[in-house]
Structure 1
Amino acid sequence: MSTTIGFYIIDRVLGGPGNGVNLNRDYTEIEISILTKVFERIAQRVQDSWQNNLEIESTLNGIETNPQLLQILSPDDIVVIVMMSVRLGNKLDGTLSICIPGEFLDDVVDRFSPKAARPNKRPDPEKEEIKRRVVLENVCESNLEIEAIFDQFTMQLKEFIQLQPGDVIPLNKPLDDDILVKVNEIPWSTAKLGETKQKKAIKLSHILSNGNEGIQWGKNKTSS
């Protein structure tokens, strides 16, 4: 794992914004302790992800900051290395490599034939509910950008460059008409304009059932 990802995780765990993670140094003992706790939880998630196909036990044996010092396998052993590009928070790119011993793959490759690829055990409803809650809790901590779009229109470039402070631009949408609410640039709801506690506000009118409905609504209501 690249150090940028490690420092980003540490900064976020400690309540930081995840900035300034391009540090050219080794981890401190405290930072190693934080990463250990994080990867112990990741190891448990890896074990859970395999449970419907294969009984495995995933544990964290330790953290090594210098890959050249690892003594897990002999130089002659066959391994499969999976390299992945990781993006965190839409502002950080890093790499993550997973090394899988060939002996492990020899033991499980037959289980992933078209016939054996079907789950050999029913999911545990209680465990599935716990995983669903964990995912939901993590998602609920995400920040969303919400936009309330009153109207959209086109303007010629020569008119645009002549605009000055104080100019009035008339719109074609009535004040009591529905406006479009977008979440992370995705149409999500219609709403009415209003006020509350001496501040502009919107009152949700209708939650769009899917993205296609919202996109179609936006196109129909956009004036040109």
Structure 2
Amino acid sequence: MSEILSQEEIDALLQALNTGEVSVKEIEQENKEKKVKKYDFKSPKKLANDQLRTLNMIHENFSRILNTFLSGYLRTKVQIDVLSVEEVSYYEFSNSISNPAMLAIINFQPLPGQIVFEISNQLSFCIIDRILGGMGNYNGEIRAFTEIEVTLLNKMVRQMIKYFIDPWENVIELSPTLDKIETNSQFAQIVSHNETIALVTLRARIGDAEGLINICIPHIVLEPILPKLSTKYWFSTISKKTTDEEKKVLEKRVKRANLKIACIVGEASITVEDFLNLQEGDVITLNKTIRDEVEIMVEDKIKYLGKPGTIKNKLSVKVTKVIEKDDDEYDE
């Protein structure tokens, strides 16, 4: 932003122009001078600001999904927000990790290499306490994680990393898997110290506990998709999603749901003796006629009415009416 001159400075500049102390050409020449930007060749920047903004948007979506998952998983109020997305060296990240620590090494397939998912000790012990039925309290004690605690965190992280898939779908179809959990940063050396990384920091509040979640993504992992990490590509990809495509995705997800459907042709009351003596060809009189509609049950609720029949020598039911929620006749 250009500097705003005061009225006194404006008057002094006009006076200098009138007296010839300052010429218009000198002012124009100063404006044409190229601005020099400092550049550190020891730690060259490999990620553009536009790419960092895209990573920010991706992880904002991830944090919202994580909010919903952890709120149900831990049965308490959870609030997670993106605090920052910056480019640093792996040495700066690893040097800031305290021991012991909760470090999940994740394979970011199909991208090459691995990422580090770090949850601060305060949050980790709070999560463990909640899983074991506690209130999520942490007294600040610095101690190593037990094998049982690591197993509990392992199970939870396996659930959490599944939620990377949807936020990244506009860039790449991910299949992340948990490689291992380390509690010592020295054994979590996934790249060299000088390697550039994108460090995504999330601020999380679980109940009364507050801490940070760091996601370390090395440059070698992002390198194959760097052209796609731009806001222009991001929004153009989103705009290409037509209504038909969204319907196909929704239809595909609905098809995965398993529902039990049954058709109640009719009911009849017979004695146990008659039931035991039933033979092939016997006829049981039901409480419905061939003109009556039959009830179609979805799970344990009547959702449709229909007419029985056959299609290509197979028994079938034609839906003739959808039972609405406000239909008192069929409410249980």
Query: Structure 2 length normalisation: TM-score?
Result: 0.35
The percentage of aligned residue pairs carrying the same residue is 36
Distance 1:70 1:27, change over 3 A: same
Q: How many residues align structurally? A: 129
In structure 1, C-alpha distance between the alignment counterparts of 2:128 and 2:251, rounded to whole Å = 31
Give the deviation of 1:99 after TM superposition. 0.6
Q: Residue 28 in 1 paired to residue 153 in 2? A: no
Flag structure 1 segments of 5+ consecutive residues without an equivalent.
130-224
Letter in 2 for 1:80: A
Q: Which residue of 1 aligns with 2:190?
A: 72
In structure 1, C-alpha distance between the alignment counterparts of 2:222 and 2:134, rounded to whole Å = 39
In structure 1, C-alpha distance between the alignment counterparts of 2:139 and 2:206, rounded to whole Å = 12
Greater shift, 19-28 or 1-10, is seen at 19-28
In structure 1, C-alpha distance between the alignment counterparts of 2:227 and 2:174, rounded to whole Å = 16
In structure 2, C-alpha distance between the alignment counterparts of 1:43 and 1:114, rounded to whole Å = 24
Distance 1:32 1:44, change over 3 A: same
Give the deviation of 1:75 after TM superposition. 2.1
Distance 1:18 1:128, change over 3 A: farther
Q: Which residue of 2 aligns with 1:9?
A: 127
- Aligned ranges 1:80-119 → 2 under 5 Å: 80-89=198-207, 91-117=208-234, 118-119=237-238
In structure 1, C-alpha distance between the alignment counterparts of 2:206 and 2:228, rounded to whole Å = 33
Q: Which residue of 1 aligns with 2:250?
A: 125
1:160-197: CA deviation from partner (whole Å, max 9, x where unpaired): xxxxxxxxxxxxxxxxxxxxxxxxxxxxxxxxxxxxxx
Distance 1:65 1:126, change over 3 A: farther
Give the deviation of 1:37 after TM superposition. 0.4
Tell whether the 8 Å contact from 1:77 to 1:102 is kept in structure 2 after alignment: yes
Distance 1:127 1:101, change over 3 A: farther
In structure 1, C-alpha distance between the alignment counterparts of 2:177 and 2:204, rounded to whole Å = 22
Tell whether the 8 Å contact from 2:164 to 2:174 is kept in structure 1 after alignment: no
Distance 1:127 1:100, change over 3 A: farther
Letter in 1 for 2:250: P
Give the greater-gyration-radius structure (CA).
Answer: 2
Give the deviation of 1:6 after TM superposition. 0.6
Flag structure 2 segments of 5+ consecutive residues without an equivalent.
1-118, 255-332
Tell whether the 8 Å contact from 2:203 to 2:212 is kept in structure 1 after alignment: yes
The answer to which structure, 1 or 2, has the higher relative contact order (CA under 8 A, 6+ apart) is 2
In structure 1, C-alpha distance between the alignment counterparts of 2:150 and 2:182, rounded to whole Å = 9
Tell whether the 8 Å contact from 2:200 to 2:215 is kept in structure 1 after alignment: yes
SS of the equivalent of 1:62 reads strand
Q: Which residue of 2 aligns with 1:41?
A: 159
RMSD: 2.5
Query: Structure 1 length normalisation: TM-score?
Result: 0.51
In structure 1, C-alpha distance between the alignment counterparts of 2:200 and 2:188, rounded to whole Å = 17
1:180-215: CA deviation from partner (whole Å, max 9, x where unpaired): xxxxxxxxxxxxxxxxxxxxxxxxxxxxxxxxxxxx
1:103-145: CA deviation from partner (whole Å, max 9, x where unpaired): 222222211334421236645326877xxxxxxxxxxxxxxxx
Q: Which residue of 1 aligns with 2:177?
A: 59
In structure 1, C-alpha distance between the alignment counterparts of 2:141 and 2:169, rounded to whole Å = 37
Tell whether the 8 Å contact from 2:122 to 2:138 is kept in structure 1 after alignment: no
In structure 1, C-alpha distance between the alignment counterparts of 2:212 and 2:202, rounded to whole Å = 6
